[in-house]
Amino acid sequence: MPITQFLHDTLSNNVLYSVFALATVLLSPSAAQAGDWDLLDAVLAQYVKPVQREGIRFHGVDYQALALDPRYGQLLTQIENSQPASLRDSDERLAFYINAYNVYAIKMVIDNMPMDSIRDAGSLFTPVWKKTVGTIAGESVTLDQIEHAILRSMGEPRIHFAIVCASLSCPNLRREAYRAEKLEQQLDDQTRMFLQDDTKGLMLEGRRMRLSQIFDWFEEDFDAAGGVEEFVRRYRELPAQLSWRANMPYDWDLNRQ
């Protein structure tokens, strides 16, 4: 065989193999999700940073700069085209939908800028949580559907410290994506940080504990963990005897930088 023919055949075979390998990676649901989260990691690290305003510590988002970054559009496309039904287990599903909620909350803000609060994107008849915000696997979704119909139904109360509705009193938007392989550590970390934050999570006044209103709105979600107080004691040292109420003021101002 002439050397030129040999080189042509070899290169052709290598190209075909490379194309096939690339297609296999791109079509693999697990690989696609990992790729999505690499991109989300980069975006969050660049556009989210610690801020303090109105006496509340939070992670502020540079919405205007993020909206102009081409990676933002790529991230939306990746989430829209993903197939969560193909995910292997509950940790992968939890990580996917937590990330999707946080990205779509950001999208709701960007789509409706300027605003002082994410709630300004809604109306009396259609609250922002019930407005279509995007699609997943070809189906329209709202923030309400992701939070209540999907995430809460999975029976994991720590999601309430991971999903972020773009407000000062929300738990901090994590500066990395949630991933199945370290989800347990991430959820524990989010919960602990929130409950150590006396500007919006937990305020201890002697033997009286004041908690975020999140524990009032979703009190039933903590029943499986022994109730609110027992759950909180896992993450914060508290007096043996105390009374508590979930009545800390909730600031809905936008978590912008």
Q: How confident is the model at residue 36 (pLDDT cuts 50, 70, 90)?
A: low
What single letter denotes the amino acid at residue 190?
A: Q
How big is the chain, counted in residues? 257
pLDDT at 248 over 70: yes
pLDDT at 15 over 90: no
What single letter denotes the amino acid at residue 106?
A: I
pLDDT at 20 over 60: no
* pLDDT digits 0-9 by tens, 152-171: 999 999 999 999 999 999 99
Query: What average pLDDT is seen over the chain?
Result: 89
| pTM assigned to the model | 0.87
Can you tell me the mean pLDDT for 118-144? 97
* pLDDT digits 0-9 by tens, 60-91: 999 999 999 999 999 999 999 999 999 989 99
* pLDDT digits 0-9 by tens, 192-227: 999 999 999 999 999 999 999 999 999 999 999 999
pLDDT at 13 over 80: no
Give the pLDDT confidence score for residue 4 in this predicted structure: 43
Give the pLDDT confidence score for residue 24 in this predicted structure: 37
Q: What percent of the chain has pLDDT over 70?
A: 86
